[in-house]
Protein backbone atom coordinates (compact mmCIF):
# COMPACT_ATOMS: atom_id res chain seq x y z
CA UNK A 1 0.00 0.00 0.00
CA UNK A 2 1.39 3.41 -1.02
CA UNK A 3 0.55 6.63 0.85
CA UNK A 4 1.15 9.88 -1.07
CA UNK A 5 1.59 13.31 0.49
CA UNK A 6 -1.11 16.00 0.22
CA UNK A 7 -0.25 19.25 -1.54
CA UNK A 8 -0.31 22.42 0.59
CA UNK A 9 -2.11 25.27 -1.22
CA UNK A 10 -0.94 28.83 -0.77
CA UNK A 11 -0.75 32.04 -2.79
CA UNK A 12 0.19 35.68 -2.37
CA UNK A 13 -1.96 38.63 -3.50
CA UNK A 14 -2.83 42.14 -2.41
CA UNK A 15 -5.55 42.62 0.20
CA UNK A 16 -6.97 45.56 -1.74
CA UNK A 17 -7.67 46.36 -5.36
CA UNK A 18 -10.08 48.37 -7.52
CA UNK A 19 -12.72 47.53 -10.06
CA UNK A 20 -11.56 47.02 -13.65
CA UNK A 21 -7.96 46.63 -12.46
CA UNK A 22 -5.62 43.64 -12.93
CA UNK A 23 -5.53 41.75 -9.63
CA UNK A 24 -2.33 39.58 -9.60
CA UNK A 25 -2.27 36.25 -7.81
CA UNK A 26 1.03 34.31 -7.38
CA UNK A 27 1.00 30.65 -6.45
CA UNK A 28 3.12 29.55 -3.45
CA UNK A 29 1.76 26.02 -3.06
CA UNK A 30 4.08 23.10 -2.18
CA UNK A 31 4.18 19.27 -1.81
CA UNK A 32 6.53 16.92 -0.01
CA UNK A 33 9.40 15.65 -2.19
CA UNK A 34 9.93 12.37 -0.32
CA UNK A 35 7.66 10.46 -2.63
CA UNK A 36 7.88 10.31 -6.37
CA UNK A 37 6.76 11.96 -8.58
CA UNK A 38 5.38 14.37 -5.91
CA UNK A 39 4.23 17.12 -8.24
CA UNK A 40 1.17 19.43 -8.36
CA UNK A 41 -0.67 19.15 -11.63
CA UNK A 42 -3.84 21.19 -11.07
CA UNK A 43 -4.61 24.59 -9.51
CA UNK A 44 -8.33 25.35 -8.96
CA UNK A 45 -8.95 29.05 -8.38
CA UNK A 46 -12.22 30.61 -7.10
CA UNK A 47 -12.27 34.44 -7.01
CA UNK A 48 -15.54 34.72 -5.05
CA UNK A 49 -17.41 36.67 -7.73
CA UNK A 50 -18.64 33.67 -9.67
CA UNK A 51 -15.36 33.27 -11.58
CA UNK A 52 -13.64 29.88 -11.28
CA UNK A 53 -10.44 29.01 -13.17
CA UNK A 54 -8.61 25.68 -13.41
CA UNK A 55 -4.88 26.04 -14.29
CA UNK A 56 -2.29 23.40 -15.14
CA UNK A 57 0.69 25.58 -14.20
CA UNK A 58 1.70 27.93 -11.45
CA UNK A 59 2.44 30.93 -13.64
CA UNK A 60 1.11 34.14 -11.98
CA UNK A 61 -1.95 35.61 -13.68
CA UNK A 62 -4.52 38.40 -13.17
CA UNK A 63 -8.24 38.75 -12.65
CA UNK A 64 -10.46 41.86 -12.82
CA UNK A 65 -13.40 42.60 -10.52
CA UNK A 66 -16.27 44.65 -11.93
CA UNK A 67 -18.20 45.37 -8.71
CA UNK A 68 -17.08 46.85 -5.41
CA UNK A 69 -17.22 44.62 -2.34
CA UNK A 70 -15.23 42.13 -0.28
CA UNK A 71 -14.50 38.76 -1.91
CA UNK A 72 -12.92 35.53 -0.74
CA UNK A 73 -10.23 34.14 -3.07
CA UNK A 74 -9.75 30.38 -2.75
CA UNK A 75 -7.08 27.97 -4.12
CA UNK A 76 -7.24 24.16 -4.10
CA UNK A 77 -4.37 22.16 -5.59
CA UNK A 78 -4.30 18.55 -6.81
CA UNK A 79 -1.20 16.33 -7.07
CA UNK A 80 -0.31 13.96 -9.87
CA UNK A 81 -1.50 11.10 -7.68
CA UNK A 82 -4.91 12.75 -7.29
CA UNK A 83 -4.43 14.00 -3.76
CA UNK A 84 -6.44 17.19 -3.12
CA UNK A 85 -5.32 19.94 -0.74
CA UNK A 86 -7.27 21.84 1.79
CA UNK A 87 -8.47 25.18 0.38
CA UNK A 88 -6.32 28.20 1.08
CA UNK A 89 -8.35 31.46 1.26
CA UNK A 90 -7.72 35.15 1.50
CA UNK A 91 -10.12 38.10 1.45
CA UNK A 92 -9.71 41.00 -0.95
CA UNK A 93 -11.51 44.38 -0.71
CA UNK A 94 -12.50 45.87 -4.06
CA UNK A 95 -13.19 49.62 -4.21
CA UNK A 96 -13.98 52.10 -6.95
CA UNK A 97 -11.20 53.44 -9.09
CA UNK A 98 -9.57 56.70 -8.01
CA UNK A 99 -10.77 59.76 -9.94
CA UNK A 100 -8.20 61.92 -11.65
CA UNK A 101 -9.15 65.59 -11.88
CA UNK A 102 -7.50 68.99 -12.08
CA UNK A 103 -8.27 72.64 -12.76
CA UNK A 104 -7.59 74.45 -16.01
CA UNK A 105 -6.09 77.90 -15.39
CA UNK A 106 -6.62 81.05 -17.43
CA UNK A 107 -3.22 81.82 -18.90
CA UNK A 108 -1.81 84.16 -21.53
CA UNK A 109 1.67 84.23 -23.07
CA UNK A 110 2.88 86.91 -20.69
CA UNK A 111 2.12 84.81 -17.62
CA UNK A 112 5.21 83.07 -16.15
CA UNK A 113 3.62 79.61 -16.02
CA UNK A 114 0.37 77.64 -16.04
CA UNK A 115 -0.54 75.92 -12.77
CA UNK A 116 -2.86 72.91 -12.95
CA UNK A 117 -4.20 72.32 -9.46
CA UNK A 118 -4.78 68.66 -8.63
CA UNK A 119 -8.29 67.75 -7.47
CA UNK A 120 -8.00 63.96 -7.66
CA UNK A 121 -9.78 61.83 -5.09
CA UNK A 122 -9.31 58.22 -4.06
CA UNK A 123 -12.08 55.65 -3.88
CA UNK A 124 -13.98 55.12 -0.65
CA UNK A 125 -11.55 53.81 1.92
CA UNK A 126 -8.49 54.74 -0.13
CA UNK A 127 -5.49 56.44 1.40
CA UNK A 128 -5.47 59.35 -1.02
CA UNK A 129 -1.78 58.84 -1.68
CA UNK A 130 -0.96 58.81 -5.39
CA UNK A 131 1.83 58.68 -7.88
CA UNK A 132 1.31 61.47 -10.42
CA UNK A 133 2.21 61.51 -14.10
CA UNK A 134 1.60 64.79 -15.95
CA UNK A 135 1.82 65.27 -19.70
CA UNK A 136 1.51 68.94 -20.72
CA UNK A 137 1.09 68.26 -24.43
CA UNK A 138 3.83 70.77 -25.32
CA UNK A 139 5.88 69.82 -28.39
CA UNK A 140 8.13 72.83 -27.74
CA UNK A 141 9.17 71.72 -24.25
CA UNK A 142 12.85 71.65 -23.29
CA UNK A 143 14.92 69.89 -20.62
CA UNK A 144 14.74 73.08 -18.57
CA UNK A 145 10.99 73.24 -19.11
CA UNK A 146 10.04 69.54 -19.42
CA UNK A 147 6.76 68.24 -20.83
CA UNK A 148 6.41 65.67 -18.02
CA UNK A 149 6.07 66.06 -14.28
CA UNK A 150 5.47 63.83 -11.25
CA UNK A 151 4.54 66.59 -8.81
CA UNK A 152 1.10 66.75 -7.27
CA UNK A 153 0.15 69.98 -9.06
CA UNK A 154 1.26 70.42 -12.65
CA UNK A 155 3.32 73.50 -13.47
CA UNK A 156 4.55 74.38 -16.97
CA UNK A 157 5.52 77.40 -19.07
CA UNK A 158 4.25 77.70 -22.64
CA UNK A 159 5.97 79.82 -25.26
CA UNK A 160 3.28 79.71 -27.94
CA UNK A 161 -0.39 80.58 -27.90
CA UNK A 162 -2.47 77.58 -28.85
CA UNK A 163 -4.61 74.68 -27.69
CA UNK A 164 -2.91 71.85 -25.78
CA UNK A 165 -4.12 68.54 -24.34
CA UNK A 166 -3.24 68.11 -20.66
CA UNK A 167 -3.18 64.54 -19.31
CA UNK A 168 -2.95 63.45 -15.68
CA UNK A 169 -2.54 59.81 -14.62
CA UNK A 170 -2.79 58.93 -10.95
CA UNK A 171 -1.98 55.58 -9.34
CA UNK A 172 -2.90 54.73 -5.77
CA UNK A 173 -1.09 52.41 -3.33
CA UNK A 174 -3.13 49.43 -4.57
CA UNK A 175 -1.91 49.92 -8.11
CA UNK A 176 -5.26 51.28 -9.29
CA UNK A 177 -4.97 54.14 -11.74
CA UNK A 178 -7.14 56.72 -13.47
CA UNK A 179 -6.41 59.08 -16.33
CA UNK A 180 -7.99 62.37 -17.35
CA UNK A 181 -7.28 64.56 -20.38
CA UNK A 182 -8.57 68.12 -20.79
CA UNK A 183 -8.00 70.69 -23.53
CA UNK A 184 -6.17 73.81 -22.44
CA UNK A 185 -5.84 77.11 -24.26
CA UNK A 186 -2.91 79.44 -23.93
CA UNK A 187 -4.43 82.79 -24.84
CA UNK A 188 -2.72 85.53 -26.74
CA UNK A 189 -2.71 89.10 -25.45
CA UNK A 190 -5.79 91.34 -25.44
CA UNK A 191 -6.17 92.68 -28.95
CA UNK A 192 -8.72 95.32 -27.95
CA UNK A 193 -10.77 96.32 -24.93
CA UNK A 194 -14.10 97.79 -26.04
CA UNK A 195 -17.78 98.03 -25.12
CA UNK A 196 -20.90 99.70 -26.47
CA UNK A 197 -23.62 101.53 -24.53
CA UNK A 198 -27.20 100.94 -25.56
CA UNK A 199 -29.38 104.04 -26.03
CA UNK A 200 -26.31 106.12 -25.19
CA UNK A 201 -27.85 109.48 -26.11
CA UNK A 202 -30.96 109.06 -23.96
CA UNK A 203 -29.99 107.67 -20.54
CA UNK A 204 -32.18 108.33 -17.49
CA UNK A 205 -30.92 108.10 -13.92
CA UNK A 206 -33.71 105.75 -12.84
CA UNK A 207 -33.16 103.20 -15.62
CA UNK A 208 -30.43 100.58 -15.95
CA UNK A 209 -27.58 101.40 -18.28
CA UNK A 210 -26.96 98.43 -20.58
CA UNK A 211 -23.51 97.85 -22.02
CA UNK A 212 -22.20 95.09 -24.27
CA UNK A 213 -18.64 93.79 -24.11
CA UNK A 214 -16.87 93.69 -27.49
CA UNK A 215 -13.32 93.00 -26.26
CA UNK A 216 -11.23 90.50 -28.26
CA UNK A 217 -8.10 88.43 -27.51
CA UNK A 218 -5.35 88.03 -30.13
CA UNK A 219 -5.83 84.26 -29.72
CA UNK A 220 -8.17 82.31 -27.49
CA UNK A 221 -10.63 84.22 -25.38
CA UNK A 222 -11.12 87.06 -22.93
CA UNK A 223 -11.08 85.37 -19.55
CA UNK A 224 -12.63 88.15 -17.48
CA UNK A 225 -13.58 91.81 -17.50
CA UNK A 226 -13.70 94.30 -14.69
CA UNK A 227 -16.31 97.03 -14.96
CA UNK A 228 -16.12 100.26 -12.98
CA UNK A 229 -19.50 101.94 -13.42
CA UNK A 230 -18.34 105.18 -11.75
CA UNK A 231 -14.58 105.23 -12.06
CA UNK A 232 -14.17 108.88 -11.19
CA UNK A 233 -16.52 108.67 -8.21
CA UNK A 234 -15.69 105.36 -6.51
CA UNK A 235 -12.85 103.73 -8.49
CA UNK A 236 -12.40 100.91 -5.96
CA UNK A 237 -15.84 99.53 -6.68
CA UNK A 238 -16.07 97.22 -9.68
CA UNK A 239 -17.87 94.15 -10.96
CA UNK A 240 -16.00 91.12 -12.31
CA UNK A 241 -17.49 88.97 -15.06
CA UNK A 242 -15.64 85.78 -15.98
CA UNK A 243 -15.68 84.46 -19.54
CA UNK A 244 -17.79 87.39 -20.75
CA UNK A 245 -19.91 87.27 -23.86
CA UNK A 246 -21.62 90.06 -25.75
CA UNK A 247 -24.78 89.63 -23.67
CA UNK A 248 -26.34 92.63 -21.95
CA UNK A 249 -24.57 93.87 -18.81
CA UNK A 250 -26.77 96.03 -16.61
CA UNK A 251 -25.38 98.90 -14.55
CA UNK A 252 -27.60 100.57 -11.94
CA UNK A 253 -27.13 104.12 -10.69
CA UNK A 254 -28.74 105.99 -7.83
CA UNK A 255 -31.76 107.84 -9.27
CA UNK A 256 -31.72 111.63 -8.98
CA UNK A 257 -34.18 114.35 -9.86
CA UNK A 258 -33.95 118.06 -10.43
CA UNK A 259 -32.92 119.68 -13.69
CA UNK A 260 -29.15 119.03 -13.95
CA UNK A 261 -27.57 116.08 -15.76
CA UNK A 262 -24.69 114.07 -14.26
CA UNK A 263 -21.69 112.45 -15.97
CA UNK A 264 -20.23 109.05 -15.05
CA UNK A 265 -17.09 107.34 -16.33
CA UNK A 266 -17.45 103.67 -17.18
CA UNK A 267 -14.09 101.87 -17.25
CA UNK A 268 -13.69 98.34 -18.62
CA UNK A 269 -10.54 96.24 -18.13
CA UNK A 270 -10.32 93.11 -20.29
CA UNK A 271 -8.01 90.17 -19.37
CA UNK A 272 -6.86 87.15 -21.37
CA UNK A 273 -4.77 85.79 -18.47
CA UNK A 274 -3.30 87.02 -15.20
CA UNK A 275 -0.97 89.66 -16.66
CA UNK A 276 -2.42 90.30 -20.14
CA UNK A 277 -4.99 93.11 -20.10
CA UNK A 278 -6.12 96.29 -21.77
CA UNK A 279 -8.59 98.91 -20.64
CA UNK A 280 -10.95 101.48 -22.09
CA UNK A 281 -13.33 104.08 -20.71
CA UNK A 282 -16.39 106.08 -21.78
CA UNK A 283 -18.21 109.00 -20.21
CA UNK A 284 -21.99 108.68 -20.13
CA UNK A 285 -24.52 111.40 -19.29
CA UNK A 286 -27.55 110.59 -17.15
CA UNK A 287 -30.61 112.82 -17.25
CA UNK A 288 -32.56 113.59 -14.06
CA UNK A 289 -35.64 111.44 -13.56
CA UNK A 290 -38.83 111.89 -11.55
CA UNK A 291 -38.43 110.71 -7.96
CA UNK A 292 -41.96 109.82 -6.88
CA UNK A 293 -43.69 109.30 -3.56
CA UNK A 294 -47.21 107.97 -3.08
CA UNK A 295 -49.02 108.09 0.25
CA UNK A 296 -51.12 105.13 1.34
CA UNK A 297 -54.73 105.29 0.15
CA UNK A 298 -57.44 104.68 2.78
CA UNK A 299 -59.92 101.94 2.00
CA UNK A 300 -63.18 102.90 0.32
CA UNK A 301 -66.68 101.48 0.53
CA UNK A 302 -68.39 100.45 -2.67
CA UNK A 303 -71.29 102.85 -2.25
CA UNK A 304 -69.09 105.82 -1.39
CA UNK A 305 -68.93 108.73 -3.71
CA UNK A 306 -65.84 109.60 -5.71
CA UNK A 307 -62.62 109.38 -3.67
CA UNK A 308 -59.79 111.82 -4.34
CA UNK A 309 -56.53 109.84 -4.40
CA UNK A 310 -54.18 112.29 -6.13
CA UNK A 311 -51.58 111.93 -3.40
CA UNK A 312 -48.67 110.96 -5.65
CA UNK A 313 -46.00 113.62 -6.06
CA UNK A 314 -42.33 114.20 -6.73
CA UNK A 315 -39.91 114.16 -3.85
CA UNK A 316 -39.47 117.58 -2.38
CA UNK A 317 -36.29 119.26 -3.56
CA UNK A 318 -35.85 116.94 -6.58
CA UNK A 319 -38.73 118.12 -8.74
CA UNK A 320 -38.31 117.61 -12.48
CA UNK A 321 -40.50 119.54 -14.94
CA UNK A 322 -43.22 117.41 -16.49
CA UNK A 323 -46.69 116.05 -15.83
CA UNK A 324 -48.31 112.94 -14.41
CA UNK A 325 -51.48 110.94 -14.90
CA UNK A 326 -53.29 108.27 -12.94
CA UNK A 327 -54.58 105.02 -14.35
CA UNK A 328 -56.28 101.86 -13.14
CA UNK A 329 -59.76 100.48 -12.67
CA UNK A 330 -62.20 103.11 -11.47
CA UNK A 331 -59.75 106.03 -11.59
CA UNK A 332 -59.60 109.03 -13.92
CA UNK A 333 -56.45 110.84 -15.08
CA UNK A 334 -56.85 113.53 -12.39
CA UNK A 335 -56.81 111.01 -9.56
CA UNK A 336 -60.47 110.61 -8.67
CA UNK A 337 -61.49 107.07 -7.81
CA UNK A 338 -65.07 105.86 -8.10
CA UNK A 339 -65.58 102.71 -5.98
CA UNK A 340 -69.05 102.20 -7.45
CA UNK A 341 -67.51 101.34 -10.81
CA UNK A 342 -65.34 98.45 -9.60
CA UNK A 343 -65.81 95.15 -7.83
CA UNK A 344 -65.19 94.57 -4.17
CA UNK A 345 -61.52 93.74 -3.52
CA UNK A 346 -58.06 95.24 -3.97
CA UNK A 347 -57.28 97.50 -6.91
CA UNK A 348 -53.96 98.88 -8.17
CA UNK A 349 -53.69 102.60 -8.79
CA UNK A 350 -50.80 103.63 -11.05
CA UNK A 351 -49.25 107.08 -11.30
CA UNK A 352 -47.01 107.76 -14.29
CA UNK A 353 -44.96 110.95 -14.40
CA UNK A 354 -43.19 111.91 -17.60
CA UNK A 355 -40.57 114.62 -17.43
CA UNK A 356 -40.08 117.08 -20.26
CA UNK A 357 -36.66 115.51 -20.89
CA UNK A 358 -38.34 112.21 -21.76
CA UNK A 359 -37.52 110.34 -18.54
CA UNK A 360 -40.47 108.79 -16.76
CA UNK A 361 -41.25 106.97 -13.57
CA UNK A 362 -44.13 104.80 -12.43
CA UNK A 363 -45.34 104.25 -8.88
CA UNK A 364 -48.30 102.22 -7.66
CA UNK A 365 -50.50 101.92 -4.62
CA UNK A 366 -53.38 99.62 -3.81
CA UNK A 367 -56.79 100.60 -2.55
CA UNK A 368 -59.16 98.21 -0.82
CA UNK A 369 -62.82 98.46 -1.78
CA UNK A 370 -65.19 97.01 0.81
CA UNK A 371 -68.74 95.89 0.24
CA UNK A 372 -71.28 98.45 1.43
CA UNK A 373 -74.30 97.29 3.43
CA UNK A 374 -77.91 97.65 2.26
CA UNK A 375 -80.85 98.65 4.43
CA UNK A 376 -84.51 99.63 4.08
CA UNK A 377 -86.54 100.97 6.98
CA UNK A 378 -89.79 100.39 5.07
CA UNK A 379 -92.73 102.59 4.05
CA UNK A 380 -94.56 105.13 6.22
CA UNK A 381 -96.11 103.52 9.32
CA UNK A 382 -99.38 104.63 10.92
CA UNK A 383 -100.17 103.98 14.57
CA UNK A 384 -102.86 105.17 16.90
CA UNK A 385 -102.04 107.67 19.58
CA UNK A 386 -100.68 105.78 22.57
CA UNK A 387 -100.05 102.71 20.41
CA UNK A 388 -96.80 101.00 19.40
CA UNK A 389 -95.30 99.19 16.44
CA UNK A 390 -92.16 97.22 15.55
CA UNK A 391 -90.25 98.97 12.77
CA UNK A 392 -89.93 96.32 9.98
CA UNK A 393 -86.47 97.40 8.78
CA UNK A 394 -84.28 94.97 6.82
CA UNK A 395 -80.48 95.12 6.33
CA UNK A 396 -77.67 93.05 4.85
CA UNK A 397 -73.94 93.29 5.51
CA UNK A 398 -70.98 91.86 7.41
CA UNK A 399 -71.04 92.24 11.22
CA UNK A 400 -73.61 95.05 11.15
CA UNK A 401 -74.09 97.50 13.99
CA UNK A 402 -77.18 99.73 14.15
CA UNK A 403 -77.98 103.25 15.34
CA UNK A 404 -81.43 104.91 15.23
CA UNK A 405 -81.98 108.64 15.66
CA UNK A 406 -83.77 110.11 17.40
CA UNK A 407 -83.97 107.50 20.13
CA UNK A 408 -87.02 109.13 21.73
CA UNK A 409 -90.01 106.78 21.54
CA UNK A 410 -87.88 103.65 20.85
CA UNK A 411 -87.34 100.77 23.27
CA UNK A 412 -83.79 100.36 21.82
CA UNK A 413 -81.78 102.51 19.43
CA UNK A 414 -79.08 99.89 18.61
CA UNK A 415 -81.16 97.03 17.15
CA UNK A 416 -82.49 96.50 13.64
CA UNK A 417 -86.19 96.29 14.64
CA UNK A 418 -86.94 98.45 17.67
CA UNK A 419 -90.45 98.90 19.08
CA UNK A 420 -91.60 102.49 18.42
CA UNK A 421 -94.26 104.33 20.42
CA UNK A 422 -93.84 108.02 19.56
CA UNK A 423 -96.37 110.55 20.83
CA UNK A 424 -96.34 112.49 17.58
CA UNK A 425 -95.36 112.09 13.96
CA UNK A 426 -91.64 111.23 13.90
CA UNK A 427 -89.00 110.62 11.21
CA UNK A 428 -86.59 107.90 12.33
CA UNK A 429 -83.18 107.45 10.65
CA UNK A 430 -81.20 104.18 10.75
CA UNK A 431 -77.43 104.03 10.18
CA UNK A 432 -76.11 100.47 9.63
CA UNK A 433 -72.31 100.00 9.83
CA UNK A 434 -70.29 96.93 8.77
CA UNK A 435 -67.28 95.60 10.65
CA UNK A 436 -65.12 97.24 7.95
CA UNK A 437 -66.66 100.68 8.60
CA UNK A 438 -68.97 100.93 5.60
CA UNK A 439 -72.36 102.52 6.31
CA UNK A 440 -75.81 102.91 4.80
CA UNK A 441 -78.58 105.27 5.88
CA UNK A 442 -82.34 104.75 5.57
CA UNK A 443 -85.35 106.51 7.10
CA UNK A 444 -88.98 105.82 7.98
CA UNK A 445 -91.81 108.08 9.05
CA UNK A 446 -94.23 107.01 11.79
CA UNK A 447 -97.49 108.99 11.77
CA UNK A 448 -99.53 109.05 14.97
CA UNK A 449 -103.35 109.11 14.56
CA UNK A 450 -105.20 110.76 17.44
CA UNK A 451 -108.49 108.81 17.19
CA UNK A 452 -109.60 105.24 16.49
CA UNK A 453 -112.31 105.33 13.79
CA UNK A 454 -113.83 101.90 13.24
CA UNK A 455 -116.15 101.46 10.21
CA UNK A 456 -119.87 101.32 11.15
CA UNK A 457 -120.76 98.51 8.71
CA UNK A 458 -119.43 95.66 6.61
CA UNK A 459 -120.85 93.08 4.18
CA UNK A 460 -119.87 89.47 5.02
CA UNK A 461 -121.53 88.00 1.90
CA UNK A 462 -118.48 86.09 0.59
CA UNK A 463 -117.86 88.26 -2.46
CA UNK A 464 -114.31 89.04 -1.32
CA UNK A 465 -115.09 92.72 -0.75
CA UNK A 466 -115.51 94.09 2.76
CA UNK A 467 -116.16 90.57 4.09
CA UNK A 468 -114.60 91.30 7.52
CA UNK A 469 -114.69 94.23 9.87
CA UNK A 470 -111.28 95.86 9.26
CA UNK A 471 -110.21 98.47 11.80
CA UNK A 472 -107.24 100.47 10.56
CA UNK A 473 -104.22 100.78 12.83
CA UNK A 474 -105.86 98.82 15.65
CA UNK A 475 -102.70 96.63 15.60
CA UNK A 476 -100.86 99.50 17.27
CA UNK A 477 -102.97 98.59 20.37
CA UNK A 478 -101.66 95.02 20.75
CA UNK A 479 -103.41 94.52 24.11
CA UNK A 480 -106.81 95.93 23.15
CA UNK A 481 -110.03 93.91 23.74
CA UNK A 482 -112.84 93.98 21.22
CA UNK A 483 -116.42 93.01 22.09
CA UNK A 484 -119.54 92.96 19.89
CA UNK A 485 -123.13 92.59 21.23
CA UNK A 486 -126.47 92.02 19.51
CA UNK A 487 -129.56 94.11 20.17
CA UNK A 488 -130.51 91.78 23.05
CA UNK A 489 -127.19 92.44 24.79
CA UNK A 490 -125.70 89.06 24.03
CA UNK A 491 -122.00 89.06 23.22
CA UNK A 492 -121.40 87.53 19.81
CA UNK A 493 -117.64 88.31 19.43
CA UNK A 494 -114.65 88.77 21.72
CA UNK A 495 -110.94 89.18 20.93
CA UNK A 496 -107.88 90.08 22.97
CA UNK A 497 -105.89 91.86 20.30
CA UNK A 498 -107.31 91.94 16.81
CA UNK A 499 -105.19 89.57 14.78
CA UNK A 500 -108.31 87.79 13.43
CA UNK A 501 -110.94 90.32 12.32
CA UNK A 502 -114.70 89.80 12.99
CA UNK A 503 -116.29 87.98 10.00
CA UNK A 504 -120.02 88.26 10.94
CA UNK A 505 -120.29 84.69 12.26
CA UNK A 506 -121.11 83.43 15.74
CA UNK A 507 -120.54 79.83 16.72
CA UNK A 508 -119.76 79.08 13.06
CA UNK A 509 -123.17 80.38 11.92
CA UNK A 510 -123.83 83.63 10.03
CA UNK A 511 -125.38 86.34 12.17
CA UNK A 512 -128.53 87.95 10.81
CA UNK A 513 -128.37 91.35 9.21
CA UNK A 514 -129.00 94.19 11.56
CA UNK A 515 -127.42 96.61 13.94
CA UNK A 516 -124.91 95.45 16.60
CA UNK A 517 -122.96 97.32 19.24
CA UNK A 518 -119.18 97.25 19.77
CA UNK A 519 -116.84 98.06 22.67
CA UNK A 520 -113.09 98.57 22.01
CA UNK A 521 -110.93 98.96 25.11
CA UNK A 522 -107.35 100.01 24.16
CA UNK A 523 -106.10 98.85 27.59
CA UNK A 524 -103.38 101.44 27.55
CA UNK A 525 -105.12 104.11 29.58
CA UNK A 526 -107.10 105.50 26.71
CA UNK A 527 -110.88 105.67 26.65
CA UNK A 528 -113.03 102.83 25.42
CA UNK A 529 -114.37 103.38 21.93
CA UNK A 530 -118.01 102.38 21.33
CA UNK A 531 -120.50 102.57 18.51
CA UNK A 532 -123.04 100.75 16.30
CA UNK A 533 -122.02 98.17 13.69
CA UNK A 534 -124.40 97.15 10.91
CA UNK A 535 -124.11 93.78 9.19
CA UNK A 536 -125.30 93.96 5.58
CA UNK A 537 -125.54 90.88 3.40
Instruction: Kindly give, in sequence order, each residue whose CB lies less than 8 Å from that of residue 274, ignoring residues fewer than 6 positions away.
Output: 106, 107, 108, 111
State whether 195 and 277 are in the same domain. yes
State whether 137 and 214 are in the same domain. no
State whether 174 and 89 are in the same domain. no
- Per-residue pLDDT, 126: 61
- Per-residue pLDDT, 35: 55
State whether 224 and 311 are in the same domain. no
Task: Confirm whether 313 is domain-assigned.
Answer: yes
Containing structural domain, residue 256: 190-287
Task: Confirm whether 472 is domain-assigned.
Answer: yes
State whether 282 and 197 are in the same domain. yes
- Per-residue pLDDT, 125: 59
State whether 123 and 203 are in the same domain. no
Quote the CA–CA distance of 279 and 116 in Å, as a whole number.
28
- Per-residue pLDDT, 91: 97
Q: Which of 449, 476, 503 is the last residue of a domain?
A: 449
State whether 204 and 271 are in the same domain. yes
Q: What CATH number is associated with residue 81?
A: 2.60.40.10
State whether 340 and 381 are in the same domain. no
Task: Confirm whether 102 is domain-assigned.
Answer: no
| CA-to-CA separations, 73 to 15, 28, 66, 501, in angstroms, rounded | 10, 14, 15, 116
State whether 419 and 499 are in the same domain. no
Local mean pLDDT, 10-residue blocks, the chain (537 residues): 87 91 94 74 96 95 94 95 93 91 96 96 74 96 96 96 97 89 97 96 96 97 95 81 94 94 96 96 96 93 86 91 94 90 94 96 95 95 87 95 96 96 93 95 90 91 92 86 93 92 93 93 87 91
State whether 208 and 251 are in the same domain. yes
Task: Confirm whether 4 is domain-assigned.
Answer: no
Task: Confirm whether 468 is domain-assigned.
Answer: yes
Task: Confirm whether 444 is domain-assigned.
Answer: yes
| Cis peptide bond prior to 263, omega within 30° of 0 | no
Bridge partners of 145, per DSSP, are 142
DSSP assignment of 461-507 equals: SSSSSS-SB--TTGGG-TT-EEEEE-TTS-EEEEEES-SS-B-SEET
Q: Which of 390, 417, 449 is the last residue of a domain?
A: 449
Task: Confirm whether 3 is domain-assigned.
Answer: no
Q: What CATH number is associated with residue 474?
A: 2.60.40
State whether 481 and 504 are in the same domain. yes
Q: Which of 251, 270, 287 is the last residue of a domain?
A: 287
State whether 481 and 438 are in the same domain. no
Quote the CA–CA distance of 194 and 281 in Å, as a whole number.
8
> Total structural domains in the chain?
6
- Per-residue pLDDT, 127: 64
- Per-residue pLDDT, 37: 64
Task: Confirm whether 101 is domain-assigned.
Answer: no
Burial class (CB in 10 A: 0-12, 13-18, 19+), 327: middle
Amino acid sequence: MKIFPLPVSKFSASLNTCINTDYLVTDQSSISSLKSPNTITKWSWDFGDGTKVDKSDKIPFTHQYTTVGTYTVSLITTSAEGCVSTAFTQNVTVTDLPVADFTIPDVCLSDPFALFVNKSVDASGGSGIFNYEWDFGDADSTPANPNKSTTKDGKHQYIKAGIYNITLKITNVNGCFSTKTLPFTVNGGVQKAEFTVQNESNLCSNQVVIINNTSVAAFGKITKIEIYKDYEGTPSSFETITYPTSNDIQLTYTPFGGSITKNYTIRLVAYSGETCFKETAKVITLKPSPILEFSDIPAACQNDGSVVINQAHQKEGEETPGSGIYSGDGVDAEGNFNPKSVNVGQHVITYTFTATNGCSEVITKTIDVYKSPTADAGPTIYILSGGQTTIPAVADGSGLKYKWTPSLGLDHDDVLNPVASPEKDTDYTLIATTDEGCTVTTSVTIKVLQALVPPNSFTPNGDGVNDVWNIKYLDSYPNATIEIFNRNGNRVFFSNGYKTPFDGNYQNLPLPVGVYYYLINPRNGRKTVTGPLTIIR
